[in-house]
Structure formats: C-alpha cells, structure tokens
Structure 1
Amino acid sequence: MSGFIDPRAAHLFEQGLALHRQGALGQALASYEQALLLQPGQFDLLHHIGILAWQAGDLATAEQFLLAARETGDGVSALHGNLGNVFKAGGRLEEALASYARALELDRANVDAWYNYGNTWQALRRFDEALACYDQALALQPDDGPAWNNRAAVLQELGRHDDALHSFDSALRLQPGNAEAHWNRALLHLRHGRFAEGWRGYEWRWRVSHLSVSRQRRDFVQPLWLGEQDLGGKTILLHAEQGLGDTLQFCRYATLAAARGARVILEVPPTLVNLMRTLAGPAMVLARGEALPPFDYHCPLMSLPLAFGSALETIPAPPAYLRADAARAAAWTALLGPADRPRVGLAWRGSQEHRDDQRRSIDFATLAEILSPACDFVSLQDRHRPEDAAPLAASPVRTFGARLADFGDTAALCAAMDLVITVDTSIAHLAGALGKPVWILLPAATDWRWLLDRSDSPWYPRARLIRQRRGEPWSAVLARVRDGIDTMTNPAKQ
C-alpha cells in the first residue's frame, strides 16, 4: 500500500474522512476526488471512495474503486471485507464468500468480516457454517447485539430452539430496543404455542424496517383498541395487513368483536371484498382505499389475538367461517361437469414476492408425482409461472387461469373440491376458512402459525399438515402425499 506523497492530498483525505464520519457523503466524495487528482492510484482514496459508493447504493462504482484499490493494497483485510459487502449487496454470494475468506486469512480478528461471512452463509441457507462465523464474531466481541440476534435466527433454523431463545435474550440485554430481536423472539414463542409472550412481542413488527408491514402502519386519530375498552355500542375499524392469507386467517376475529357489541367495519384488499361479505359479524366490508365512515376505535387484524388474549386452547376455530357465493358456486360446479372421481384442488406456488417463496413453493414437474388417475385434479391458481407451463399442459390437471377473477371465484371453485392440496399460501387459508379438507405441504423450517411437529392445526379443524423433514427433498414429502391419495381412493386400504 502506497502512502501519501503529496501533503495536499493527505490533507484533503483527512478532511474527507471527517466528513465521511459525519455522514456528509457528498462533501466527503468531493474531498476524496480532489485528493485523487493530486495523487492518482492512492490506496486509501480508492478504498474510501469505494466504501462511500457502496453506502450510497452505487454498487458498480463501489466495485470499480475497490478492485482498483486491491491492485495496490491486496494485503489489507478491511478492503476484502468491504469488497465482500459489495458482492453480497449485489447478490453475488459466492464472490462475497471468497472476499470474506480472504479478509479473514489476512486478519482473523476482523469482527465485521466474521459477521458478514456469517450473514452470507445464512443467506445461502448453510446454517452450520453461519453459526460457526457468528460464534467467532462473538468470541471477539461478546457485546455485539446484532450478532446474537442472527445467531439465534440460525439456531432456530437448526431446530435448536432453547439455544435460540437464550441468544435472543442476550441480544436484548445488550440492545433492549432491538426491534428485530424482539420480533424474532416473538415468532419463536408463537411457534412453540407460547401465545401470551408471542402476541405481545408480535407488536414489534411495526418497528422492523426491513419488514414490508412496517410500511403499512396506519396512523388514525382514533385510538388503537387492544382489548381494554368496552366495545358495546362503539364502532371499530378492523383493517387488513400483510398478505391475503393473513387476512383470511385473522378475519375470524371480526365475529368476536361484533359479539362484544361493536359495530364492525372490516377493510380488506379489493380481491377479498366479496368473500368477506359472507363473514358473520361485520356491518360493513370495504376495499382498502375506499372512504372510511366514522369510527371510535381501530385495530389491525393481526393484533386481534393479543386484544382477545387468545391462547392455544382458545383460538376461535369454527369448522367454517367463510362461504362461497351460492350463484358462483353453482356456475363453477356446472363448468366442472359431473363428478365421477374425487376432485382435488392443487396450489403448488405462492407469491414470488414472499420472502420465503423459494423454499415453500414447488415446481409443477415435481408436484406431478402425486397425480393419480383415481382423482380429477384442478388447479386453484389464477396464474402459472412460465417454467410450469409445459409440464402443466402435458398433465391431466384442469386449469382456469383468468376465469378466476377474484377470491370469490377461487372460493367457489375451491368449494367444489373434495380435497385441497396446497403449499403454505393463501389457498391453504382459504380452504381452511371454507371448512374444506386441506393438506398443507410445509417446508422443514416453517412459518410460526403451523407450530412445531404437529400434523393438525388449531386454526383449521379439517387441515392436515404434511411436513418436510430436515434435509428431505420435496419428492419424499410428495411420496407420502401420493400414499395418502392412494389410501383415500382405495377403500381396501382404509
């Protein structure tokens, strides 16, 4: 690494460094660039311009300058760590791993490199390697709250739940206001059915900046209702949040609010309005974005279990709480024609926007292993991904695509099924809310709402949970599904 030869460049670098530390990125960049004109190729200038560009989100410029710095200072651990950060931010995880490994080869005490190395292994779902990295980071810096939080998340993925809880507690002792640690700890409690702790902690979702729900928070003049005030004679707005499945699952609490004497206004995504009008309790169902009438209180749907103090044993779980429109159901039944075999509805993919879509969705070519001539299979999805098109077209599965105009149509088609088989997506909640028999295919590390190691669900009495075991391919799960279909359609095996 070459030093500063020109004292003016050295002065401008120090000036830029001070501005950089203050967060004045534009002014810092100007100082660095002036210094670089005086002393081209100087390592510290190239390095810090690269860091600044990364912080500004300009990954191409960051990579350009950090690679130029590497030409003159390959032996600097921090440089390789920062280059790893750029690669990781750009989704180039293998290159990021190589950069962090080089940073640690040069300096085994580089805590940031250990932490980011762990983050990258975690993103690749290589949890044993991630855990080893976080342990190294914490051995060097035991008061690193984010590292304790990430360590806990990895331990959850490895099924070491008690150890995970200890790590979350360590994170919160160090950073009592760490919203992400509170949130993750709440999900762990919910997964174990410890609802009292879980629902309280779930309120931290509004403060976790990387969660989309944190940007959905509604600010009303009317107070938030969390169960304290008497609802008799009052009007309460219950408003949906997060995904369609969440709305379908938690809308059931509107019935309980009405039973307390409230006039309930239910606001939901437009595609659910018609279906939600079949729910007992709401006096009015509105699409999100419509003008709201006057109301006294409000509550987001997923805060209602906290407001009603729901325990595992007291989840409101009627056999069915939504129903398909009778006219639509009749039209879909006519379209399907006479039933000479059990009808099985299928949903194998959820929204690509979902953060866990890659592990919960299944490609159709793999799902096709369950198809049996003993059943009439029907797709309940309104759209199909391009990679599924050819195997789907070659299969006996019936598809309706654009004819499924909204969830009212999907509900009517679902109502005509004898069984629904679905991955963890909104169709699972729709089938459960309609009271249909539903087999839900769950990945090894599953969402909190399905709890742990259960084949049934306290939310949906007619649901059967078919879980992927750790390290097991989907083909093994589908073999169990195929056996279940064989048993269902073959009386001799029942």
Structure 2
Amino acid sequence: MSRRDRNKGAKSARPGPAAPPPASPIALYEAGLQHLGSGRLLDAQMCCEQALAVDPAHADGLALMGIIALQSGQHDHAVAWFSRAIRQNPKIDYLTSLGFTLKQMGRLDDALAVFDKAIQLKPDDAELWKHMGAVLLAANRHGQALLSYQQALTLNPGHREAAFQSGLLLQQQERHEEAVQAFTVCLTQQPSDLPSLQMRARSFRHLKRYDEYLADCQRAQTLALADPLVCNNLGDALVCLRRNDEAVAWFDRALAVRPGLVDVLHNKGFALLQVLRFEEAAAVYREILALEPGNAKAAWQLAHIELQCGDYAAGWARREARWAMPDFSPDYPRCSEPKWLGQEDIAGKTLLIEEDEGYGDNIQFARYLPMVAARGAKVILVVREPLRRLMAGIEGVSQCLAFTPDLQRPAFDMHCPIMSLPLAFGTTLASIPPASYLPPPPADRVAFWEQRLGPHHRLRVGLVWSGNPHQANDGNRSMPLATLLPLLEVEADFISLQKELRTADQALLAREGRIRDVTAELTDFADTAALMSCLDVVVTVCTSAAHLAASLGRPTWIMLPYLADWRWLRDRDDSPWYPSARLFRQDAGRRFEPVVARVRAELAAKAAGFKGTTA
C-alpha cells in the first residue's frame, strides 16, 4: 500500500465533527417566548413541543402551550395545558392563567375555585384579589366583587383597575361619597383618565355637588372636544346650576356634532322650559316625536306645555301617553274591561274611577265625579286611605274604597283614571267645572278644631312650606321653614299644616314659639279640611294642601316657583280652577325670599282689617 493510500485510509477512519448537543428545555422555552412575543404562534408551539419532548414535565413549557392555545382560541386545550403545568408546580402565574381562561369560558365557579386557591397561596397579592373581583362581577355577585376589589385596594391603594371597578359598584349601591374617593384614586394616577372623570362627575351629580360636577365635566370636555355626550353632560351640569341659557348652547353643540340624539334633545327641551321658552321647548319635543313617534316622555312633556299654554284640547289627549311610561302609576289596575274616555254612553253602567298620580291631583279632579254620575253611571271610587273619608261624601259617589295592593274590586263595566276625566269631558279653559264639590267637613271635627285653636281674635293663617321630598320638582317648589319666618312678624295666629317635617325644620319649629303645630292630631284629609275651615287664609307652596284649601273655597295663597306646574298656566295671579286662590310667583331670580316678602305685605294688610269673631 502506498503512503498516499495509507494516509487516505487514516483520514477516512477519523471521526467527523461532533453533532450539537440537544437544546435544553429552558433554551427552547425562552425561544418560544420570543416567538410568541413577535406573534409567531406556530414557531412558539414548535419550540414548546421540542422542550416537552426533552422534558415532558417542564412546567413553564406546559404553561406556554396553554397561552398559545388560549391565543389560538382553543380554550379547552388551554385549560388542559395550564392544569398540567399546575400539577408540576402550582405557581401563581399558572393559576392566574387558568382562572382567566375559565372565566372566559363562562365556567365561573371553577374560576372562583382557582383564584381562591391562588389567594390561599399568596393572600397579599392585590392582582389576585382584583381577578377574583372580576369573576365575582361576571357572576353577578356584586357585593362580594366589591369586597374583593376593596381588598385589592387595601393591599395596593393605587390600583387603578380595582379602584375603577369599586367606584362603579359603589355607584350601583348609591354609595356616591365612597365612589368619588375610588374614582379620585384613578385620577390621581392618571389625570387624563376620561372614564374615571365621567364616572366621578356622575357621583357628584347624585350628591348634588354641582360645582364639582361642572368642573369634572369641563375637564372631560377638554379631553374630548368633539364628543357629543361629553358636551351633553356639561350642559346638564349647567342646568343643575340653573345656568340654563348656557346649557342650551352646549346641547346645541352636541347636536351639531350628532343631530337627532334624543337624550340630548330631551335635556335641551328641559333647559328651555326652565327659562320659560315654551314655544322653543315645544318645538324640541315635536322634533323628538318626529324621530320617535312612540316616545311617551316627549309626548308627556309636550302635553304639559300645551296645558300650561291653555291648549287643553291638545294637552289632555296627549297626556294619555303617560300610560306608555314604564314607571307610571304602577298600582293602577290592568283591567280587561274597556277604558272610558267620554265616547261611550255610560247610562246604567258601573264605572270604576281609580286614583291617579298625587293626592293634590286627585283632589283637583274629583270635581268631575258628580258629572260622571249625572250621565247615569254608578261610580265606584278607589283612592288611598288618607283621601277616602274626604272623597266618599262627594255627590254621585256610590262606593269609595281604600286602595290596597290586594284590593278585590267590585264588578264594573268600564274604568277611567281620575286624571283622564278632563279629557273625557272635553274640558277647555271656558268649561272648567266649579270648585265647590267637596262635602262640608265633619261638623264634630270643625267644633273640635275651633275649641282647640281658642279665641278667634286675630287672623288665623295656615302654613305649608314644603311638599313630598321625593317629588321630581320638589327642589324648586319647596322652601325651608327659615325662609318663611318673615311672615311671623305679622300680627296673626299661625298654624302649621306641614305634615312631613324635614330634619332642619323640626328643630326650628320646636324653637319657634310663634307657630302652633297641631299636625300630630290630624288624622286624614277630611280632618285637615275641618281644620282649614277654621282658618282665614292658607299660605302654601304647590302641594296637596293648596288643592284642599282652594277646593273648600278657603282663601288660598299659593307660592309658586319660576317654572310653575302646568295647572297654574302662565303669567296669572289667579286660577280658573280655584276662584279663592291667589298665585304668588317667583321672578327670574328663582328665590322664594321676594315671594315671601310680597305675601307678608298682603298678609299684614289683611290682618290689619281683621275684626275678629266671637263665639
């Protein structure tokens, strides 16, 4: 063999270069993470599969396969991978991923169990409590969700997501002071957080902290200049501050961006009404009805404008839209018998007349009951117990029942809500029925009150200064007792007819010796009527007391807000409904102090001319 052949054989016998060692599971896992971060799911999956081929128990690789499956929409596979990873090592990250996946699948009980286990392992982890809150929220367990979010905030007071969700849940519970604090946490972290700013503004509104409500709305508007809803909220804040003309401009700005927004149109109509721009407001509500012919709220508002402007023919008919309003008169019976609105002959029929809306409304429109009976109908009347004794004696009422939720009504042929009677009789300003329809108050109670009040040497003045605090317009129609105190300078005897006392008024009335408070002895409206019959004048805001006193023919001085209720019409100091009533209206300043001053002057003149009576 030649040297060349020997050398060639030696070369061929040498081993070749060594094959690279197999990649470690850690390296493959890290490569998979890089691929995943770049959106290359298949490459990431291949790396994980190689890692698991080397080490089937590699927990991070199993968990990464779960993440890949989750991002691919394969939730069942993701659950399986995360579960395998947890069996190898119950890391918090794995449990969090499994709980999140189960939540996405709607398996909320399973998700709760997973997060509960994670919290047991690491109870001081704010993120876990936040995740637990999210699952509880999805399960509609709002109270427990709030507790979880609050625990997250205890552990991490600056946790924005937990603070925001806490704020929303606190708002649902009407805990607006706490909600403000929660949203403030978010805004401290990020002052330009628009959702938190808007939510905090909403809570300020509920708390009637209107200056702060406006400030947040103005900040929100700088962050979303062209957002019509932000402009709408800013307008609403101005309405709350009674800056209605400015508010209209913001509503117009919102509508310029997105015409036809019905909620904004409603707000614009309301603002126009507050400044007595009735024709413009009516045009807005007609625009809403053109967009949504079945919009009962718009029809209701337009009806009141028509009635306030004296267009009774249109207003009574349009006011029937109230029955399409979801929360209107929930206690009115849903009858299979037909509703009577004046078209049918009711001679020989039994007509059920049900109370409708407030006490004052029922007193005012009880004047139609004798007219129903005069058409030959038997009248069955249903009212709340405080009205029953007063109204049972009205001419033509065959039977008067006290409303209860389970009331079994006698058989009847037709029914009519009492507030629909003006429509049934085609009432116009010229055909309003007379006010002398209530029976005389019980003689024994009149005698009782005469004795109770004592010698009648000075003018007797009944006082009512506030109404039901839950009534929508109560903030405008009522006043604190302190505002009424200048009346007490008049030489007269003052008697409180104020049944519901607010906390501040209770203390003042107890200290104020010039007002006799006998309301604890008043049993119902019939008893109040007996007391009123012993008085020389009743001074009241727009409440049921005004209707009762005026229906009895007592001199009744009614103090009205700038935008008065529709029944008092426009720009009048008298009422076609009540000849004995005088109306004292606020001016554009919307303060009751000038109204009280005018009443005081008139009352002083009346007291000066009072001669007294003898028993």
State the TM-score, normalizing by the size of structure 1.
0.86
- Pair 206,357 (structure 1): closer, same or farther in 2 beyond 3 Å: same
Alignment of 1:38-437 (within 5 A): 53=169, 70=187, 74-75=191-192, 77-89=194-206, 91-209=208-326, 213-289=328-404, 290-372=407-489, 374-392=491-509, 393-437=511-555
Which of residues 579, 582, 593 is equivalent to 1:461? 579
Range moving further from structure 2, 63-72 or 336-345: 63-72
Q: CA deviation at 1:369?
A: 0.7
Which of residues 599, 603, 612 is equivalent to 1:481? 599
- Which whole-Å CA distance do the structure 2 matches of 1:312 and 1:265 have between them? 28
Pair member with larger Rg: 2
Q: What residue is the counterpart of 2:138 in the other structure? A: 26
**Which residue identity is paired with 2:556?**
V
Range moving further from structure 2, 180-189 or 388-397: 388-397
**Which residue identity is paired with 1:268?**
V
Q: Would you say the 8 A contact 2:289–2:298 is kept in 1?
A: yes
Q: Tell me if 1:471 matches 2:583.
A: no
- Pair 436,58 (structure 1): closer, same or farther in 2 beyond 3 Å: closer
Q: What residue is the counterpart of 1:440 in the other structure? A: 558
Range moving further from structure 2, 63-72 or 450-459: 63-72
- Which whole-Å CA distance do the structure 2 matches of 1:118 and 1:246 have between them? 32
* Secondary structure, aligned partner of 2:259: coil
**Which residue identity is paired with 2:366?**
C
Gaps of 5+ in 1: 20-24
Q: Deviations over 1:247-287 (max 9, x none)?
A: 11111111111011000011111011111122111011111
Q: Would you say the 8 A contact 1:383–1:401 is kept in 2?
A: no
Q: Would you say the 8 A contact 1:127–1:154 is kept in 2?
A: yes
- Which whole-Å CA distance do the structure 1 matches of 2:105 and 2:192 have between them? 25
- Pair 478,260 (structure 1): closer, same or farther in 2 beyond 3 Å: same
**Which residue identity is paired with 2:385?**
P
Range moving further from structure 2, 339-348 or 373-382: 373-382
- Pair 86,336 (structure 1): closer, same or farther in 2 beyond 3 Å: closer
Q: CA deviation at 1:62?
A: 7.0
- Which whole-Å CA distance do the structure 1 matches of 2:398 and 2:269 have between them? 44
- Which whole-Å CA distance do the structure 1 matches of 2:516 and 2:159 have between them? 63
- Which whole-Å CA distance do the structure 2 matches of 1:489 and 1:398 have between them? 18
Question: What is the CA RMSD across the aligned residues, in angstroms?
Answer: 3.5
**Which residue identity is paired with 1:485?**
L
**Which residue identity is paired with 2:377?**
A
**Which residue identity is paired with 1:283?**
S
Q: Deviations over 1:321-369 (max 9, x none)?
A: 3421112112211222231122221111212222222221222222121
- Pair 18,478 (structure 1): closer, same or farther in 2 beyond 3 Å: farther
- Pair 398,226 (structure 1): closer, same or farther in 2 beyond 3 Å: same
Q: CA deviation at 1:95?
A: 3.6
- Which whole-Å CA distance do the structure 1 matches of 2:400 and 2:431 have between them? 26
Q: Would you say the 8 A contact 1:226–1:303 is kept in 2?
A: yes
* Secondary structure, aligned partner of 1:420: strand
- Pair 175,383 (structure 1): closer, same or farther in 2 beyond 3 Å: closer
Range moving further from structure 2, 316-325 or 330-339: 316-325
* Secondary structure, aligned partner of 2:397: coil
Q: Which has the higher contact order (CA 8 A, sep 6+)?
A: 1
- Which whole-Å CA distance do the structure 2 matches of 1:443 and 1:340 have between them? 33
Q: CA deviation at 1:447?
A: 0.8
Q: Deviations over 1:460-482 (max 9, x none)?
A: 11111111111053221111111
- Which whole-Å CA distance do the structure 2 matches of 1:252 and 1:43 have between them? 63
Range moving further from structure 2, 274-283 or 482-491: 482-491
Q: What residue is the counterpart of 1:22 in the other structure? A: none
Q: Would you say the 8 A contact 1:155–1:163 is kept in 2?
A: yes
